[in-house]
């Protein structure tokens, strides 16, 4: 019985179309090699128009499409009916699509993110309440590293539905410093002093020029906004240095930065409300000691 089984297997083995198998194997090997070369050529061709990550994704898409064509051609060479395979693949794709609608939505959103290019790898972005550096832009999600070194994965569907702020898109940024000075100060002198401090700071750009903008009369101070421009890579250093320099200059020139306080007035001439102790009221011994 074993001999009959062995004879049957050998007969089937001999009956195989070895020429077609050899042709399919050769086609598969040469096709994979050619697909790899073509994908790399496409990556070099579009390298100047897209960033590195987007060029890599396009290279992978080209490679997988070509590999699919090569595999389909090899199967056809072996005698498989591609119509039946494509029908089964279509049914499987529909089933997988219904089972993974979220992934399909993220995939489509990822294609829109890659086409729109609102940011690239290395940019600092803010998505909702998350701020960090872009590590990767994939078809399903975007990976960020926050400033406290946390890894955050944001689905592409969320990226498309959220407000995205790119802090690295433009080469210069404006820093706005809010401050207040006492009502008794000469505002022209204060403005000149602030402009002098900004001119001396090497991180402040000359153009656009620094500005001192009047904001309003506050409850305890005259409020102004100091707006200065800096290169993107110097923004954090400017944000740390300029307030200290303005505070030092105010101290040296005697300019008062008031703190909130409350004053009571009475009478039609807004005279201060007098406060005195009635001589007829006896204070407890402990309070008399504290007042003395």
Tell me the residue range of the domain where 217 lies.
172-253
State how far the Cα of 139 lies from the Cα of 132, in Å rounded to an integer: 19
Instruction: Give the per-residue pLDDT at 187.
Output: 92
Evaluate if residue 182 carries a pLDDT over 80. Answer: yes
Phi, psi of 173, rounded to the nearest 5 degrees: -135, 155
Instruction: Give the per-residue pLDDT at 134.
Output: 92
162/232 same-domain check: no
Instruction: Give the per-residue pLDDT at 266.
Output: 60
134/148 same-domain check: yes
153/215 same-domain check: no
Residue 80 lies in a domain: yes
58/82 same-domain check: yes
Q: What would the pLDDT profile of 111-166 be if each residue is shown by its tens digit?
A: 788 778 888 888 999 998 899 999 988 878 899 999 999 999 999 888 888 899 99
Name residue, tokens 């090699």. 33
183/154 same-domain check: no
157/177 same-domain check: no
84/22 same-domain check: yes
176/161 same-domain check: no
Residue 284 lies in a domain: no
Region 181-207: what's the mean pLDDT? 92
Residue 47 lies in a domain: yes
- Torsion sign over Cα 54, 60, 61, 66: positive
Residue 108 pLDDT level (bands cut at 50, 70, 90):
confident
197/249 same-domain check: yes
176/162 same-domain check: no
SS (H, E, C) 26-45: HHHHHHHHHHHHHHHHHHHH
Whether the ω angle into residue 23 lies within 30 degrees of 0, i.e. cis, is: no
CATH of the domain at 229: 3.30.70.100
Say which DSSP state 46 is in.
T
Instruction: Give the per-residue pLDDT at 50.
Output: 67
* Best-predicted range by mean pLDDT (1-15, 49-63, 133-147): 133-147
Which residues in 54-107 belong to E strands, given as ranges? none
Contacts of 56 (CB under 8 A, 6+ apart): 43
Q: In total, how many domains does the chain have?
A: 3
Residue 275 lies in a domain: no
Residue 218 lies in a domain: yes
Residue 291 lies in a domain: no
CATH of the domain at 154: 2.30.30.60
The residue among 97, 210, 117 whose CA lies nearest residue 159 is 117
Q: What would the pLDDT profile of 218-239 be if each residue is shown by its tens digit?
A: 888 999 999 999 999 999 999 9
206/186 same-domain check: yes
Evaluate if residue 7 carries a pLDDT over 60. Answer: no
Instruction: Give the per-residue pLDDT at 3.
Output: 54
Which residues in the chain belong to E strands, given as ranges? 124-127, 130-137, 141-146, 151-155, 164-166, 172-181, 211-217, 222-231, 265-266, 271-272
Residue 203 lies in a domain: yes
Residue 38 pLDDT level (bands cut at 50, 70, 90):
confident
Residue 5 lies in a domain: no
Instruction: Give the per-residue pLDDT at 74.
Output: 74
- Torsion sign over Cα 148, 153, 159, 161: negative
177/248 same-domain check: yes
């Amino acid at each position: 019985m074993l001999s009959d089984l062995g004879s049957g297997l050998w007969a089937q083995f001999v009956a195989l179309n070895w020429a077609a198998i050899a042709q399919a194997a050769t086609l598969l090997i040469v096709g994979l090699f050619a697909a790899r070369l073509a994908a790399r050529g496409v990556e070099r061709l579009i390298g100047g128009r897209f960033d590195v990550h987007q060029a890599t994704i396009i290279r992978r898409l080209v490679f997988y499409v070509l590999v699919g064509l090569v595999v389909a051609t090899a199967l056809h060479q072996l005698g498989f009916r591609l119509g039946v395979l494509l029908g089964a693949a279509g049914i499987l794709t529909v089933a997988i699509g219904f089972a993974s609608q979220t992934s399909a939505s993220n995939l489509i959103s990822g294609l829109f993110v890659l086409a729109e290019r609102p940011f690239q790898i290395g940019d600092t972005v803010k998505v909702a309440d998350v701020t960090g550096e872009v590590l990767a832009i994939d078809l399903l999600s975007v990976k960020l590293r926050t400033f406290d070194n946390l890894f955050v994965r944001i689905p592409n569907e969320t990226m498309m539905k959220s407000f995205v702020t790119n802090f690295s898109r433009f080469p210069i940024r404006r820093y706005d410093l809010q401050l207040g000075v006492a009502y008794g100060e000469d505002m022209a002198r204060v403005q000149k002093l602030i402009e002098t401090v900004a001119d001396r700071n090497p991180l402040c750009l000359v153009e656009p020029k620094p500005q001192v903008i009047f904001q309003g009369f506050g409850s305890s101070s005259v409020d102004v906004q100091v707006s200065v421009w800096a290169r993107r890579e110097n923004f954090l250093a400017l944000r740390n240095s300029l307030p200290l320099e303005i505070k030092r200059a105010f101290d040296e020139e005697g300019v008062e930065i008031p703190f909130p306080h409350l004053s009571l007035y009475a009478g039609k001439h807004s005279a201060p409300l007098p406060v005195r102790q009635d001589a007829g009221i006896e204070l407890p011994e402990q309070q008399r000691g504290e007042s003395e």
